[in-house]
Structures are given as C-alpha cells and as structure tokens.
Amino acid sequence: MPILESATVVAPTSPYGENKLAVDFMLAGEVAALGIAATSLRYFNVVGAYRRGTTVMGERHTPETHLIPLALEAAAGRRPEFAIFGTDYPTPDGTTIRDYIHVEDLARAHLLALDNLTPGEHKVFNLGNGTGFSIREVLAVVEKVTGKPLPVIEKDRRAGDPAELVASSDAAKAELGWTPAKASLQDMVSDAWDFLNSGSQS
C-alpha cells in the first residue's frame, strides 16, 4: 500500500475486480492493434453528491450496498442497523480500510483524462485520495455529521474482503494535473447526507 498502476502482480479478489481488469486488457489490445487512444480510470470508493444551485444529484439505488449510504440510512432511521463485517483484520482498529473519492473530483478527472488522450497509448490512472479510512473511522464521521448515534452490530468477515485498499494517485497528479479538491471525509459524508435529506430522486 498504496496500490500503484504499475503493480506487476494483479490478483482481483472478486468477479467485479476481475471484470474491470479484463476490460483493461481488452483496451490495451485494441490500442495496440488499431492505434487508438484509451484511458482506464480506476475508481476507488466514490462518495458525496453533486450540487449546482438548486440541483442535487447523488447515489440512490436498490439494493444499496455501499458503506456510507448504508450508514447514513441507518442514522436517518431508514434501516434498523448498520453491520460491520469483521472486526479482527490486521488494521489499527480491526476493521477494513478503504480509500474514498468525492464524485465531483472524479468527474473533473474524467474531463482532464479526455484532454490527455494520446493515439497509440493506453493510459491507466488510479483515482483516490491516497488516504485510507477504517469502517469505524467512517462511522465516527457519520455520527458527527448527522448528530445521531448509529445502531451498529458486528458480524463475521465476508469472504474476499481485503484488509486494506488505498490508491496511489501520483500518476494522475503528475500527468493530468489532478488533485482531489474535496479530500476531507467529512466533506464527502456531509454532501451525501445533504443529498439523502434533499428529497431529490436523482
């Protein structure tokens, strides 16, 4: 840690990760065969909401599987509890550590990547903060932002969950001139909380 784009050993721990890596390989093959330009943007955990004026757009889908929306729904009383899967990982507080990126920072990276396309090259960029937060750290921020205690239960680990996933985004910073403008976990959670309470269907 942190994970580099240049890692020579790639071992996805889920079908989701395997599919993303397969697309990277396909893009590299098409670039080599056709001389086109392609860029792979490897997102880490996308959080927050997009707001311009009175327009608010955020994450809402069924079933919800992402940590921060689930925690916010529990804080809002829309779920009876929030489950932590595994408290015995080799991390400082025993819960898994993940990297988070604000959706607005992610959108900006896409625009910069489009301006950076080079025919005959397949570029790969990690997009994350380069800082990891444990589940317990995230939940503490959720409680601070919402002002509500979370009904937390602890369960056994889920198969395939690695202890820590944190991105190195140095390549995106160096080549694209990209840096996260909303790197604070509190900003990300606050924006997601505002969206949850906005009544927007976007």
Query: Which residues have a catalytic role annotated?
Result: 16
Structure tokens at 176: 């694209």
DSSP string, 5-30: TT-S----SSHHHHHHHHHHHHHHHH
Q: How far is CA 102 from each of CA 16, 31, 40, 78, 140, rounded to the nearest angstrom?
A: 21, 30, 18, 23, 18
Whole-angstrom distance, CA of residue 14 vs CA of residue 156: 18
Q: How far is CA 146 from each of CA 10, 78, 114, 197, rounded to the nearest angstrom?
A: 38, 14, 37, 11
Instruction: Pick the closest to residue 153 from 67, 80, 69, 62 (CA basis).
Output: 80
Whole-angstrom distance, CA of residue 137 vs CA of residue 182: 17
